[in-house]
Structure 1
Amino acid sequence: MSRIAFIGLGVMGNPMATHLAEAGHDVAGYNNVPVREAAFELSGGRVATSIADAVDGAEIVAIMVPDSPDVEQVLTRDGVFDHATPGALIVDFSSIRPDVTVDLAQQAKARGFRLLDAPVSGGQKGAVDASLSIMVGGDTPDFVAALPIFETVGKTIVHVGGNGAGQTVKAANQLIVAVNIQALAEAVVFLQAHHVDLSSALDVLSGGLAGSKVLDQKRENMVRHEFRPGFRIELHHKDMGIVTAAAREAGVVVPVGALVAQLMAAARANGDGGLDHSALLLGVERLSGLGTSSPLSP
């Protein structure tokens, strides 16, 4: 069992930290704003009062925060680099820019730390069910050392290369997911316009080549028109910015991805940023003149 600091007890981080505590690890969790920590505390986790308090004596420092500036702040601004024990293994579960990860890994090494980028896929449900897919970038010995942590919170765990590779694969994941959600949203509006029984149509589509995890997991949101966030449009908008910027830096084109990035931005501009990304359906409805609003589920 390890002493773990878990920084970021939000929608994803809270269940992940809870699983680690339930597995018997000594986990100190910290969040910069009040969150629902009851499950974490009941599992045996300790709520820390600061980053310095959380990382005191920790062998592993896990991070799950929203964006690149947040990770930079956690690590460099009176944060982990200044207070953690040298030699600690830093596991960044956040989804951030690959170039930022590479830079932070170099800073970590210079300060006597080891860093893995380990973004996850699976959303809130995957975090709660401990079934996340984890794409890991960094040195092989560090990946092996972190495997017990990964196996506690995820099911599909793959070492994809050096630092930054995990974030690059996550960007590709977000590209594929966004395009699939947009296609599903358009199919739903198309089917409804022709007065087809929507549930029956989605049943048969899911059994053929059109079937996907996106269809399986997001269909009910669209059928019920309920978009309580599992993964918010605001965060997917951020991720699509990573995709388009990284593609430009590599000199490759992602034309469909660029279009979906714009549709994601439009959804955010129309007030849908706090909804689940399946609420891309609302954008298709607006473009079709259906005059929808942006409801959250009860």
Structure 2
Amino acid sequence: MTRVGFIGAGRMGGPMVSRLVEAGHEVRGLARSAATKTALEASGAQAMSTFAEVGGDTDLVIICVFTDEQVREICLGSDLLASMPRGSTLVLHTTGSPRTAEAVTEHAAQFGVAVVDSPVSGGPHDIAAGRLTLFVGGDANTLARIQPTLESYADPVLYVGPTGNGQRVKLVNNALFAAQIGLLTEAVALGTQLGIDEGDLLAALPYGSSNSRALTSVSAKGSVSAFADSVGDFLSKDVGVVRKIVTELDGNLGLLDDAVNAALPNRV
């Protein structure tokens, strides 16, 4: 049994909390609203009102908030890390900047807390099925110690190298995913020119050599626009981070950039 603190028990974090409790772990989550408190307690977790209460007397604290800025505020601007026991671990599930992961790791070291950056790939349905993908950067021995707990909701758990590499892999993944949606946008336009109904095209293509995770997801929604609307806020946020980091490193997205623009023309 692992004592787990959890911050960010929302659309993605809520199902993680449920899976952790079901696996027999003791979970305490941050509840800043009555709705979150009710949801945490309904799942069998304890509801806490401060960062220190979440971090105190835990083996592991998981952060699953929406933005990189929130991660920095929680990890660098609050008493969370100071409240965590020496030898405990902080897990960053939020997709953001590798530099944030590195800064949090450096800050946490003074409190004897290990950090892994572990952005996720998948949705609430993957968490419920225990098949969420994790890209993990940090110390391999630290991951080995906490992996059985993470496997309450994640499979596979993929170690990808030093701190920040989890974020780097996830950002490339999301840029490619957005580009694939853009290519599907263009493919549907081509089909329309050829007189093929979008629904018929999307029903058939998953059985051909053009199939991909993006195509399967789009097909399930029935249209490219419906799928883009359902994931647009999350994807545009991540693509924005990709572009910012690539620019800081004097790189570029190359051909991916045009495809991303086709996927999210009004968002990025």
Is TM-score (shorter-chain normalized) higher than 0.5?
yes
Instruction: Describe the superposition over 1:112-158 as per-residue Cα deviations: whole angstroms up to 9, x where unpaired.
Output: 21000000101232223221110100111111011112211111111
Contact 2:182 2:260 in 1 (8 A): no
Q: Partner of 1:200: helix, strand, or coil?
A: helix
- Separation (CA, whole Å) in 1 of partners of 2:223 and 2:261: 24
The answer for the alignment partner of 1:121 in structure 2 is: 121
- Separation (CA, whole Å) in 1 of partners of 2:112 and 2:58: 14
Contact 1:19 1:152 in 2 (8 A): yes
Relative to 1, partners in 2 of residues 1:46 and 1:239: Cα closer, same or farther, differing over 3 Å? same
The answer for the alignment partner of 1:252 in structure 2 is: 251
Deviation, 1:24, is: 0.7
Q: Partner of 2:151: helix, strand, or coil?
A: helix
The answer for the alignment partner of 1:9 in structure 2 is: 9
The answer for the alignment partner of 1:211 in structure 2 is: 211
- Separation (CA, whole Å) in 2 of partners of 1:191 and 1:39: 45
Instruction: Describe the superposition over 1:80-123 as per-residue Cα deviations: whole angstroms up to 9, x where unpaired.
Output: 12322222200111111011111111111122210000001012
The one-letter code of the counterpart of 2:258 is L
Deviation, 1:48, is: 1.5
Aligned length: 268
The answer for the alignment partner of 1:290 in structure 2 is: none
The answer for the alignment partner of 1:292 in structure 2 is: none
The answer for the alignment partner of 1:195 in structure 2 is: 195
The answer for the alignment partner of 1:281 in structure 2 is: none
Contact 1:17 1:27 in 2 (8 A): yes
Contact 1:237 1:261 in 2 (8 A): no
Contact 1:6 1:28 in 2 (8 A): yes
Runs of 5+ in structure 1 lacking a partner?
Answer: 270-298
Moved more, 210-219 or 192-201: 192-201
Runs of 5+ in structure 2 lacking a partner?
Answer: none
Q: Partner of 2:94: helix, strand, or coil?
A: coil
Moved more, 259-268 or 145-154: 259-268
- Separation (CA, whole Å) in 2 of partners of 1:251 and 1:155: 34
Moved more, 189-198 or 30-39: 30-39
Q: Is 1:240 aligned with 2:236?
A: no
Moved more, 141-150 or 47-56: 47-56
Relative to 1, partners in 2 of residues 1:34 and 1:117: Cα closer, same or farther, differing over 3 Å? farther
- 1:121-200 aligned at under 5 Å gives the runs 121-200=121-200
Identity of aligned residues (%): 26
The one-letter code of the counterpart of 1:112 is G
The one-letter code of the counterpart of 1:210 is S
- Separation (CA, whole Å) in 2 of partners of 1:210 and 1:31: 44
Using the size of structure 2 for normalisation, the TM-score is 0.89
- Separation (CA, whole Å) in 2 of partners of 1:169 and 1:146: 20
- Separation (CA, whole Å) in 2 of partners of 1:189 and 1:46: 51
